Structure 1
Amino acid sequence: MSRARLKAYRKGRWAEVLAAAYYMLRGYRIVSSRYKSPYGEVDIIARRGRSLVFTEVKARANLDGALESVRKTARGRIERAALHYIAQNPAYNDYAMRFDVIGVVLLWNLVPVRFVRMDNAWLLGA
């Protein structure tokens, strides 16, 4: 892995850890992180009550476009991965689903500066 790629990987992974902590502090339970299916990947799957939240985390140098950077093709992959997760975990069949995007602005030394969560960033199939 190149140096630049390793740096981007670490930055993204750290943003995911911060996002998971954010959810836990708000009473969510992290049921899976970095969930991979044949259809795509979900960064964080969190549960609170009878709701499952499938979250895409974006680490950026600034928030311009961070939340909008999840394009339709990526949303489709996340949705298919979410449906695969539920199919593999039938206990969640009757849970409500929500898709969030979290944008994290990190300084060069990985210190978080800003944190923005967009609840219900999109609807299933939209």
Structure 2
Amino acid sequence: MNSAPERRRTTYLRGHRAERIALLFLLLKGYRPLARRYAAAGGEIDLIVMRGDTVAFVEVKARGLMGDALSAITATKRRRFSRAARAWLSRQPWAAGKTWRADAVFVAPRRWPRHLKAAFELEMS
């Protein structure tokens, strides 16, 4: 039987692995990394990448089943994510003229990652 600290560590390591997989997947699609694990304003963004004139703030979700990953981005998560995106943008004046998007990459065992562009609306006010 796993203890709570062991389960937390396993979950933490699975999340890091999923972020690496998602980043490699996005690199193959032509995205350029700008930041990893960006935390500010009480929120965290797993990956910030850019392709062309679009800056994508990416939430990575790793779940045993793809359907579970799809439902894992809650309203609370979206609000915190958006706060962190606003904080990042306030520190990056060059990004003001770019298109901003909140993407998600879902990672499940023995499946290709799934990249969902504009997975949810960024709350920019």
Answer whether contact 1:67 1:118 (CA < 8 A) is retained. Answer: no
Per the normalisation by structure 1, the TM-score is 0.89
Q: Does 1:92 align with 2:95?
A: yes
- Asked whether 1:16 is paired with 2:19, we answer yes
Partner residue of 1:105? 108
Q: Which runs of 4+ in 1 moved over 4 A?
A: none
Q: Aligned residue for 1:109? A: none
- The answer to whether the Cα contact below 8 Å between 1:43 and 1:55 also exists between their aligned partners in 2 is yes
- Tell me which residue corresponds to 1:115: 113
CA positional deviation for 1:103 = 1.0
Structure 2 unaligned spans of 5+: none
Instruction: Provide, for residues 12-42 of structure 1, a one-character-per-residue CA deviation record: whole Å limited to 9, x for no partner.
Output: 0000000001111111100001001023000
Structure 1 residues not aligned, in runs of 5+: 107-111
TM-score, normalised via structure 2 length = 0.90
Q: Which has a greater percent of helix?
A: 2
Please report how far the alpha carbon of residue 73 of structure 1 lies from its aligned counterpart in structure 2 after TM superposition: 1.1
Partners of 1:42 and 1:25 in 2: how far apart?
20
Give RMSD over aligned pairs.
1.6
Provide the residue aligned with 2:64 in structure 1: 61
Aligned length: 121
* SS of equivalent residue, structure 1 residue 119: strand
What do the CA deviations read for 1:23-64 (whole angstroms, capped 9, x no partner)? 111111000010010230000000111110001101111112
